[in-house]
Amino acid sequence: MPQEKSEPDQLQFWSFVDYAVARTAQEIPELDPLAMRLVLTLHRAVNMLVYDLESSVHRPRGWSWPGFRVLFVIWLTGPVEAKQVAELSGMSRAAVSALVNTLERDGLVAKARSPHDGRAVNLTLTDQGRGAIVETFRAHNTREQEWVGSLSREEQTTLTELLGKLIADSTRFDARHRA
């Protein structure tokens, strides 16, 4: 991935990682450039991917990526409490609460008080929500296939496994599960 030019004036988005790693390693010698490069690349890859999926699939349909994630979880888990949607989607309960308001306003999700717990809210998709998510998920997956198409099936598997390994013992950090 090294590029031929490294002068600030010539910097482009795609050459910035190389430049940043080289310069930073020089300024802060005790740093681990491999870790730095991995995290920078990982972050950029995901942001490009998410930006592309959101702008090519979700926004044209009037949805947001976070809204899609909530809808997706509700679709998969049937009538479900907001609390569990937050857990599975990796969002805070406040975020789910706000998103569900928008989705309810748009007629995609229905709220109902839980019969067993007066505090809890049960979430289900409306017919409109159910229809919309299947169509959207197809388009979403088609776009995903285009993205991962630059890797062989074996490379895709390797990449998924390495990512799995990366997060596997992330419980070392008391990290809340955000994703």
Q: Which of residues 116-175 bind a copy of itself (CB under 8 A)?
A: 134, 137-138, 141, 144-148, 150-151, 153, 155-160, 162-170, 172-173, 175
In the complex with a copy of itself, the residue whose CB is nearer, 105 or 120, is 120
Site residues (CB under 8 A) for a copy of itself, limited to 12-71: 12-14, 16, 19-20, 23-24, 27-28, 30-32, 34-39, 41-53, 55-56
Q: Please write down the long-range contacts of 169-178, taking CB distance under 8 Å and 24 or more positions apart.
A: 177/87, 177/90, 178/90, 178/91
| 10 binds a copy of itself, rule: CB under 8 A | no
Q: What distance in Å separates the CA atoms of residue 149 and residue 152, rounded to the nearest whole number?
A: 7
Q: How far apart are CA 68 and CA 144, in angstroms?
A: 15
Q: How many helices (H) and strands (E) does the chain have?
A: 7, 3
Instruction: Give residues 23-82 in contact with DNA (rule: CB under 7 A).
Output: 51, 55, 64, 66-67, 81-82
105 vs 150 by CB, closer to a copy of itself: 150
Residues 69-98 that bind a copy of itself (CB under 8 A): 72-73, 76-78, 80, 84, 87-88, 90
Please identify, using beta-carbon distances, which residue of 158 and 177 lies nearer to DNA. 177
Contact 15, 5 (CB under 8 A): yes
CB atoms within 10 A of CB 19: 17
